[in-house]
Structure 1
Amino acid sequence: MTDEVKGEADEPGWEVDPDDEWGVAVIATVGRQLKLRREAVGMKAGDFAKAVGYGEDMVYKIEGGKRIPRPEYLDKADRVLRAGGLISAMKEDVAKVRYPKRVRELAKLEAQAVEIGIYESHSINGLLQTPEHARSLFQAMQPPYSPDEVARMVAARTARGSVFERSPAPALSFVQEEAALRRPLGGRMVWRHQLEHLLEVGRLHNVVLQVMPLDCETHSGLVGRIELLKFPDGTAVGRSDGAFNGRPITDPRQLRVLELRYGTIRAQALSPRESLAFIEHLLGEK
């Protein structure tokens, strides 16, 4: 077994979330099918492990539903066990449970939305975070997460960034607080890379990025974060920390309240051009 393959097998973030009942069931079923097919061809776990390039312990973990198999693992198993594509086809189901349930649900909505508007009050929004910044954020939380939990959450947050690669591209708007941009989570290099990433994203043709300055005398977003998503069929969903108990809403009358607040916040923030210039200025300060 090569060091490269061993590293892939031992990579954190591929553990099964015990609180995700559907995810547990899917991974348990995939593991059971892998074991049944291996035994059907008369191959011992040790021999199979060598054939696919993974440790025997990893094979037992996957077959026992304790570990999420990587796509490469399923493809190798399909070839070794001559499954004719049946094992490789499991990749689609496995991909659906790769990330925590809450993140999956949010990512699904983001993937369907044609418009996304977000005001972020305390931190840089997850869609805008670099992996290094996200890791620093999760590592700073209390009580602390385990390294495996951090890796899993960073991978999930990074995967949500695929919204920027969609075609046709959705219309995206963000309002970020100045304080969050000034906080050097993870150290100066991580902070600089995060600001550089914001500049890159903010220059995309379908993205409007604005900064809410600290010296703004009137601020309609002090009650917290706002998120609005609109879909092709004309429906929408919204959520705000300071309205409707923080729960997702779809009622048109309630949505109008959030839309009014978000629109006012955007009007109070720096313009997109001023915001990019402000971020460039922050980068030049250090």
Structure 2
Amino acid sequence: MARAENKETASPTVQMVAEVARTMRIKRQLTQEQLGAELGYSAAAVSAMETCAQPASDDMLAALERVLGDGTGIFESARRYVRMETYPEQFKNYALLEQAALRLQLYATDVVHGLFQTEEYARALIGGGYPALPHDRVQELVEARMIRKALFDREPAALIELVLEESVLTRDIGSKEIMRAQLRYLAECARRRNVTLQVLPLDCGLTGEYAGGHGALNVVETSDHQHLVYLEVQEESWTLSDPAKVSMYAQRCAKIRAQALGSRESLGLIQQLAGDEE
């Protein structure tokens, strides 16, 4: 929703997009209404974008590139930076690492990992958190989370290995229907060739070993084959590069995977919980 106060707090990237779009619109001798018609937006939406009352959405930036970009790629480039500014402060640096990663080893303990969330699950989760967020901010964060899914189809493909605690699959978020759709989406993701999805069963500790007790973690292999660890708890985060620490966390992640159900067993459990057991 366009708000007057947004004009005062708009980020440098948002201001740059607004100024470039307005300059290029005037150069082409288009009114806001005419540009809106070409973009698929109203004149009011174009005005809000140009005054920073409502920053350009990801879809609007794509449309601006198509209509005004003139082969420069300027609005396409801006999409990346606008996305970064949307993420919570503690997540911004990791988001860049995630999108460029060669391999991700992920362990989620409380809720479905953000990369694997459906839009409805993410909205229920973000909107139901505390402190409560304004509707506009919830929508902004949901859209930003969905954009991350581009990683699944990126070329070259990233190898993504996810272990979920079984309790994540039985903790309903939003509604029974939302959770059922989320489980079915996990099953769909598990069938991707670049994804390995495993479930760490609730009775894992009965064997006398449980490597997952220290919480969620993300091990990242970067495009230059550097290994990093990202940890996040209670909206605080740490990115670790010390080789000894990274090695320890990578070993722990490997142990968690070893204690988890195999990928076929995990898929079967997810399908069973979704009511789709084959």
Q: How does 1:1-286 map to 2 (within 5 A)?
A: 24-38=11-25, 54-69=41-56, 70-71=60-61, 73-74=63-64, 78=68, 85=70, 89-99=73-83, 100-102=86-88, 105-217=93-205, 218-241=209-232, 246-284=237-275
Bigger shift: 180-189 or 62-71? 62-71
Cα distance change, pair 43–259 in 1 and its aligned pair in 2 (3 A): closer
Unaligned runs of 5+ in 1: 1-9, 79-83
1:131 Cα deviation (Å)? 0.9
How many residues are paired up?
A: 263
Deviation at 1:66, TM superposition (A): 2.8
Cα distance between partner residues in 1 of 2:124 and 2:87: 22
- Alpha-carbon distance, 1:113 to partner: 1.5
Contact 1:175 1:209 in 2 (8 A): yes
Q: Which amino acid aligns with 1:110?
A: E
CA apart distance, 1:203: 1.8
* Distance in 2 (alpha carbons) for counterparts of 1:197 and 1:95: 26
User: Structure 2 counterpart of 1:160, which letter?
Assistant: R
Letter paired with 1:237: L
> Comparing 65-74 with 186-195, which one deviates more in the overlay?
65-74
- TM-score relative to the length of structure 1: 0.79
Counterpart secondary structure, 1:238: strand
- The range that moved more, 179-188 or 213-222, is 213-222
Mapped contact 2:121–2:179 kept (Cα < 8 A): yes
State the distance in 1 between where 2:131 and 2:252 align: 33
Q: Hey, what's the Cα distance between the residues in 1 that align with 2:118 and 2:265? A: 22
Identity %: 28
Report the Cα distance in structure 1 between the residues aligned to 2:33 and 2:155, rounded to whole angstroms.
45
Kindly provide the amino acid, as one letter, of the partner of residue 44 in structure 2.
Answer: D
| Structure 2 portions without partners, runs of 5+ | none
Worse-matched range after superposition: 127-136 or 44-53: 44-53
RMSD: 3.1
CA separation of 1:248 and 1:55: change in aligned 2, threshold 3 A: same
